[in-house]
A = this chain, B = another copy of it.
């Protein structure tokens, strides 16, 4: 097994250090490279200043096999990555007519003239290869020098990401610098916490001492990544191991890959020619928002009634006034009646409902913040269940959405 290269990632941009934008490049490139068995060893986030680029690039270049830079390739005088790095490496800047023509064409296609500043983007360090940018004016650069590799990528994510996936990653694989296919096998679970999951998978994975497991929990859904540290266990074997995990987890196993619970539920409904509607109180529309977040949702999603007042619950969802008065809006009978009301209003196969105390105010000793009832209705009748959720208002609402999806998913699996 070849030792994987040491990769340093240098993200250039004042807006990251000012807390104005999140460092999405690290998340994106980290995941892409991790799946090929070589996550970045280190990330420098630095200001767009010559002095900063110089001292940090020098360190990264001397201590790693591959350096990837992002940003600073634009047309303005603030964009100086290309110039500073060429100077450090003692490389002349050469001019590419092809790049200038390409940029000029791009402007023309928008009905605009190329500005004089953009000429700057047609320069490249001697010895570098130009990576054409299908989405913008800043070309990427690929430079091999002294047994090392420098990859310079443009800053905007919508330019960087297709360039990396279509042009950089395949080439790194072909040249044997990284694995040429995924080294991680991933799956998702739903309705089981991270620690309980760890306990459940431990006996299965324990005998494989070189298999690494990484967990990432997001409000009820856990991403699990399996990989071999030494390469001793092959990806096929890891896949078999995932299959064993799947059988052990039963309905807690969501799917291979990382498509998320919304897509899984949508596909289950599509395959059964069934539909869903929802009635929401504490989630305020987020459950419908999640159902409609993916293309094709109109095939299965009928609609949502967000009833934030008792009057609306009664008038629009036919929740009995007596239930609202006796048990209160946050109760099992009301959650059940809400689900039934959604089913009737939207003529759907299934319905889900939510009612609870999202906080921070509104809690009482009987009904504390985090108490949520989720109802469901369908061919087998109407039901509701109580949950005690921890976290702030946003987290309680997100968890509620994921649990509601999980309830419907289990109903759909049960009736298969």
- Which residue numbers of A lie inside 8 Å of B, CB to CB? 14-24, 26-34, 39-47, 52, 55-56, 59, 63, 214, 216, 223, 225, 280, 282-298, 301-309, 311-312, 315-316, 345-347, 359-362, 393-394, 397
Contact = CB atoms under 8 A, between A and B. Distances in A.
B302 A304 contact: no
A284 B288 contact: yes
A325 to B, nearest CB: 18
A26 B29 contact: no
A28 B39 contact: no
A245 B18 CA distance: 22
Contact of A19 (B28, B63, B283): B28
Contacts of A47: 41-42
B41 A18 contact: no
B21 A23 contact: no
Number of this chain's copies in the complex: 2
Contact of A27 (B14, B19, B39, B214): B19
Given A285-B292, A306-B288, A15 B216 contact: yes
B28 A42 contact: no
A111 B285 CA distance: 38
Given A19-B39, A42-B46, A44-B43, A284 B295 contact: no
Given A22-B23, A216-B21, A302 B292 contact: no
A361 B296 contact: yes
B296 A289 contact: no
23 contacts: A15-B216, A18-B34, A19-B27, A20-B31, A22-B22, A23-B26, A41-B52, A42-B44, A43-B46, A284-B285, A284-B301, A285-B304, A286-B289, A289-B289, A292-B308, A293-B397, A302-B308, A303-B306, A303-B316, A304-B305, A311-B347, A316-B316, A316-B345
B40 A17 contact: yes
Contact of A301 (B45, B59, B308): B308
Contacts of A45: 26, 42-45
A112 to B, nearest CB: 14
A26 B22 CA distance: 8
Most chain B CB within 10 A, of A16, A18, A46, is at A18
A64 to B, nearest CB: 12
Contact of A283 (B15, B216, B289): B289
A7 to B, nearest CB: 9
A337 to B, nearest CB: 16
Given A29-B19, A42-B45, A285 B280 contact: yes
A111 to B, nearest CB: 16
A15 B86 CA distance: 33
Contacts of A295: 359-361, 393
Nearest to A360: B295
A30 B43 contact: no
A214 B18 CA distance: 9
A16 B214 CA distance: 12
Given A18-B39, A32-B19, A309 B304 contact: no
Given A26-B45, A285-B285, A312 B302 contact: yes
* Residue from A41, A297, A312, A359 with most neighbouring chain B CB atoms (10 Å): A312
A47 B41 CA distance: 7
Contacts of A393: 293-295
A84 to B, nearest CB: 16
A70 B79 CA distance: 30
Contacts of A43: 16-17, 43-46
B23 A42 contact: no
A39 B33 CA distance: 29
